[in-house]
Structure 1
């Protein structure tokens, strides 16, 4: 029955997407909306779209390849030459070199296609923000989330729950396959809603609050940790905007105390889900401990994540110098381990080696520093805290391994690149790109 509901919701959301992109919508935003909607639509029918179909590629994979290819044709080449993208090209080069050295050709193609998907989506959204502004772009982008958000609400109403793979607890994910990927959809939704200006859409605060509540029901703790800074900034700013200067100090102090109380209340009600986080933080030496020395109790910490990390780190530490420099190659973990690393940094160290990890750290550092140079200090604060939350998520799972995580990253990067800043030569170049299209 729920499959029929999925199809019905998918058709309704497609109609909404069509009405949005045929209105006052530039072609780059229309492409981004359609690309994101297509991914969420296909992923909803995972029993059909996940298995291999042609030459080892699934329908989902073919959809991603099609979006990446179309995006390369649509987005002007000049966008891909922006200096802000240079750190990403260093990372892509490290991935390609690692794949060539280890002859992991299929894995290399798979990973680079995902990053190409990210690149064209970020480029399209960047051009839309430069053309129609952040507010108009994000308001229209909301339509792409109609299907997954509606399906999650319906799954709650119909009791369509999934047992979380880590501990068997209940997750409401709208009939999608896995709570890790679905949590990134809701995180992206929260991020987009939170960055739409007040008064642009009706019930903005209610919609944001609903999205946070839905993320809690996804029951994926790393995603919950990711949106804590986003939610704190949103509500804090919401209260601050309504106050006179003389009222700010006392009232914001009370609000801060309320936030702290809510945080501790949530921590208490979800203490079983977060208890392992405290255990891990008090035993950080376990990360570099050889896996053969783990006790049975230690192997279960954080749903076995710490034990998994130690296996990858131990394999890297005992590798030859060539593998330590270049790694074992993209997707090489499948040949040695049954589970992926559940940590982006550990995974990149193992797959792409020292050069790959340093390249990724360079991307992370620059994406943290770039928002700080924005004239809009409120936006700068939101972006920095949001990215720090996203990095926190990468410490316990791998959102960048999924297209859903790359969609969030593309939205974030497009805003960092497209937000108003100083009128430099780079900014004038961006203007030339828009005028030419």
Structure 2
């Protein structure tokens, strides 16, 4: 029955997408909307789209390859020469070198295609925001989230739940395959709503609150930690904008206390789910402990995450110099471990070595610095703290391993680069993309 509901919602969402992109919508935004919608549509039918179909590629994988290829043809070449992308290219080169050194060619292609997907999507959003503005871009982008949000709401009312793989607790993910990937869809939805200004969309605050509630129902604790900074800034700014200067100090103090009380109440309500977080923080030395010395109780901390990290770190520290510098190669974990690292940083140092690890750190710090340097201070707070929350998530899972996580990161990067004080002085961007859509200037 729920599969039929998926198909019906998919058709309705496709009609909504069509109406949106055929309206006052530039072609780059239309591309971004269609790319994101397609990913969410295909992922909803995971029993069909996940198994290998042609030459080892699934329908989902073929869809991602198609989007990346089309994006490379659609996005002006000048966008890919932006100086701000240099740290990203250093990281991509580190991945390629690691793959070549270790002859992990299929894994290297797989990883680089994912990052190419990210690159074209970030470029499309960058051009759209520079053309039609942030509000118009994100208002229209919300239509791409119609299907997963509607399916999750339907799953709640119909009682269509899934037991989480970590501890068997209940997750409502709208019939999608895994709560980790689905949580990133809702995180992206929350982020896009948060980036729209007041009165841009109807019931903005109610929609944002609903999205936060839906993320709680996903029951993926790392994602919940990710949106805490976003939610805090959103509600704090919402109250601040309605106050006179003389009222701000006393009222915001009370609001801050209320936020603290709500956070404390939620912590108590979800104490069992987050108990391991405190236990892990009080035993950080376990991460560097050899896995063979872990007790059975220690192996269960954070749903075995700490134990998994120690296995990867131990293998890396006992590797030869070549592997420590260049890593074991993209997707090489599959040859040695049954589970992925559940930590982006641990995974990167194992697969790409010190070269890839530090280049990735460079990407993160550069993006974070650019975010806090955005000329719109209220936007800088939301985006900057969103990146901080996203980094927290990467400490306990690997959102950038999934296309859903890369979609979120592409939205963040596209926003940051389009709203920073200076976009590269590369004049070819202005000249090569002078007109898009219906005669709209890019810059």
State the TM bucket, normalised to the shorter chain: over 0.9
1:120 corresponds to 2:120 = yes
Q: Give, in angstroms, the shift of residue 433 of structure 1.
A: 4.1
Q: Give, in angstroms, the shift of residue 422 of structure 1.
A: 3.9
Q: Give, in angstroms, the shift of residue 196 of structure 1.
A: 0.4
Q: Residue in 1 aligned with 2:434?
A: 435
Q: Residue in 1 aligned with 2:176?
A: 176
CA contact (8 A) 1:309 1:343 kept: yes
Secondary structure, aligned partner of 1:396:
coil
> Distance between the aligned counterparts of 2:14 and 2:430, measured in 1?
32
Secondary structure, aligned partner of 2:133:
helix
The alignment yields a C-alpha RMSD, in angstroms, of 0.9
> Distance between the aligned counterparts of 2:218 and 2:254, measured in 1?
30
> Distance between the aligned counterparts of 2:291 and 2:420, measured in 1?
49
CA contact (8 A) 1:135 1:196 kept: yes
CA contact (8 A) 2:82 2:424 kept: no
Q: Give, in angstroms, the shift of residue 189 of structure 1.
A: 0.1
Q: Give, in angstroms, the shift of residue 320 of structure 1.
A: 0.4
**CA pair 420-341 structure 1, distance change in 2 beyond 3 A:** closer
Q: Residue in 2 aligned with 1:212?
A: 212
CA contact (8 A) 2:83 2:424 kept: no
> Distance between the aligned counterparts of 1:371 and 1:270, measured in 2?
31
Q: Give, in angstroms, the shift of residue 223 of structure 1.
A: 0.1
Q: Give, in angstroms, the shift of residue 104 of structure 1.
A: 0.3
Q: Give, in angstroms, the shift of residue 425 of structure 1.
A: 1.9
CA contact (8 A) 2:226 2:389 kept: yes
Q: Give, in angstroms, the shift of residue 31 of structure 1.
A: 0.4
Alignment TM-score, normalising by the size of structure 2: 0.97
Q: Residue in 2 aligned with 1:198?
A: 198
Secondary structure, aligned partner of 1:392:
helix
1:109 corresponds to 2:109 = yes
The correspondence of residues 413-428 of structure 1 with structure 2, limited to 5 A, is 413-422=413-422, 425-426=425-426
CA contact (8 A) 1:108 1:329 kept: yes
Structure 1: 4+ residue segments shifted above 6 A: none
Q: Give, in angstroms, the shift of residue 436 of structure 1.
A: 5.4
> Distance between the aligned counterparts of 1:376 and 1:77, measured in 2?
28
In the alignment, structure 1 segments of 5+ residues that lack a partner are: none
CA contact (8 A) 1:79 1:433 kept: no
Secondary structure, aligned partner of 1:53:
strand
Q: Residue in 1 aligned with 2:146?
A: 146
> Distance between the aligned counterparts of 1:312 and 1:253, measured in 2?
45
In the alignment, structure 2 segments of 5+ residues that lack a partner are: 437-443
1:188 corresponds to 2:188 = yes
Q: Residue in 2 aligned with 1:268?
A: 268
Residues 341-374 of structure 1 deviation map (CA, whole Å, 9 limit, x = unaligned): 0000000000000000000000011011012222
Secondary structure, aligned partner of 1:425:
coil
Q: Residue in 1 aligned with 2:354?
A: 354
The correspondence of residues 150-165 of structure 1 with structure 2, limited to 5 A, is 150-165=150-165
Alignment TM-score, normalising by the size of structure 1: 0.99
The correspondence of residues 328-343 of structure 1 with structure 2, limited to 5 A, is 328-343=328-343
Q: Paired residues, what number?
A: 436
